[in-house]
Structure 1
C-alpha cells in the first residue's frame, strides 16, 4: 500500500469519524431537547453560566498579568472579567429563572432580527430579480418577528422545539453521511 493511499484512507476515516461523532452529538442533544425540554434548557443555561465564569477568569487574568496592556486596558479587562464572573454566579443562583430570561431575550432578539431582515429585504426590492418572492419573504419575516415580539415565551418554546427537531434530523443525516462518505469528489 502506498503512502499516498494510506494517508488518503486515513483522511477519509477521520472525516467519517467527525461526521459520525458530530451527528451522534446532534442527535442526542436533539432527543434531549424533545424529551426533556425544560431540563435540557437548564443544562444549556448552566453551560453558559460556566462559560461566563471561565471567560471572566480569563479576562481578569489578562488584566492582572498582562505586561503589554496599558493601564486602561488592564482595568477594562479586570472589570469585564468581574462582570462575567458575577453574571455567571447570578445565573447559577437560580438556573430556572435565568433560563426563562435567556429564552425570552433570545426570542425578542430573533423577533427584532426578523423584522429588520424583512425591512432590509424591502429596501432591496428595486434591484431584486424576483420582486414577488422578495415581498412575500419580507412580509412573512416581518409578521414572524412581530409575533415573536408580542409572544416571546410562546416563540421561545417553538424555537426550542424546532431546534430539537432540526438537531435530530441533521444528526441522522450526518450519521448516514459518516457511513456513506467515500472521499471521492462528487
Structure 2
C-alpha cells in the first residue's frame, strides 16, 4: 500500500506482521501431527475401552443370565445408595419445607425398599429390567416410525422415507407383541455388537502404536 492510497482513504489489504505471525503459528499447529505422548495416551485409552467392550460382549454371550443378574444387582445397589442419600438429606437438611422433606423421605424409602427387593430377587429383577429395556426400544421405534411417516412429505425421497418409517413402525409393533423372543435377540445382538466394538478398538489401538513406532 502506497502513501497515496492512505491519503485517498483506500482500504488496506496488507495483514499486519503480528497477525501474520499468529496465522503462521495456527497453521503450523493445524498441520503438525499430534505429539507422541498424546498418541500413546489415546492408544492406551482406546485399547482399554476395546478390551472392556470385548470382555463384556464375551461374558454376555457365554453367560447371559449371570451378566443380567450382575446388571440388576448394580441397579439395585444404585437404588439403595440413592435412597439412603435422600433419607439423610430429608432428615438433616433444614432448608427444605416440611412438604419437600416428606417427599424426599418417602421417595428415599421407596428406593431403599426397591433396592432390597431387587437384591433378594435378582432373577426376576434381571428379567423385568430386560423386558423394560426391550419395551422402551419398541416404543422408541414406533414413535420414530410414526414421525418418519408424518414427515415423509418433506423428505427428498418420499418412497424411502415411507419405507423406513413403515419398517421402524413394524419392528416396534413386533417388539411389543413378542417381547420375550425379542429380548433373546436383543441380548444376542448386544453381545455381538460389544464384541465387534471391542475388536475394532483393540485393532485401532494397535495401529496407533505401530504408526507411532514407525514415525
TM range (shorter): 0.7 to 0.9
What SS class does the counterpart of residue 114 from structure 1 fall into?
helix
Distance 1:68 1:175, change over 3 A: farther
TM-score (norm 1): 0.87
Structure 1 residue 32 corresponds to structure 2 residue 48: no
Offset of residue 69 of structure 1? 3.0
Alpha-carbon distance in structure 2 between the residues aligned to 1:66 and 1:173 = 49
What does 1:6-21 correspond to in 2, within 5 Å? 8-21=35-48
Distance 1:68 1:15, change over 3 A: farther
Instruction: Name the SS for the 1:181 alignment partner.
Output: helix
Counterpart in the other structure of 1:41: 68
Greater radius of gyration (CA) = 2
* 2:155 is equivalent to residue 108 of structure 1: no
Displacement of 1:64 in angstroms is 2.4
- Note the C-alpha offset of 1:128: 0.9
Contact map agreement 1:19 1:175 (CA 8 A) in 2: yes
> What is the distance in 2 between the residues matched to 1:131 and 1:47?
45
TM-score under structure 2 normalisation?
A: 0.76
What does residue 98 of structure 1 align with? Answer: 125
Q: Which consecutive unaligned segments of at least 5 residues does structure 1 have?
A: 1-6
**1:138 is aligned to 2:165:** yes
1:79 aligns with 2:106: yes
Shift of 1:63: 2.0
Rounded Cα–Cα distance in structure 1 between residues aligned with 2:62 and 2:83: 33
- Give the direction of change, closer, same or farther, for the CA distance of 1:89–1:128 in structure 2 (3 Å limit): same
How many residue pairs end up in the alignment?
Answer: 178
Which of the residues 143, 150, 172 maps onto 2:177?
150
Q: Distance in 1 between matches of 2:38 and 2:190?
A: 31
Q: Of the two structures, which has the highest relative contact order with CA contacts closer than 8 Å and spacing of 6 or more?
A: 1
- SS of the residue 2:95 aligns to: coil
Alignment-derived partner of residue 4 in structure 1: none
Among candidates 174, 196, 214, match of residue 169 of structure 1 = 196
Give the secondary structure class of the aligned counterpart of 2:80. Answer: helix
Q: Is the 8 A contact 1:103 1:153 kept in 2?
A: no
CA shift in 2, pair 1:62/1:38, >3 Å? same
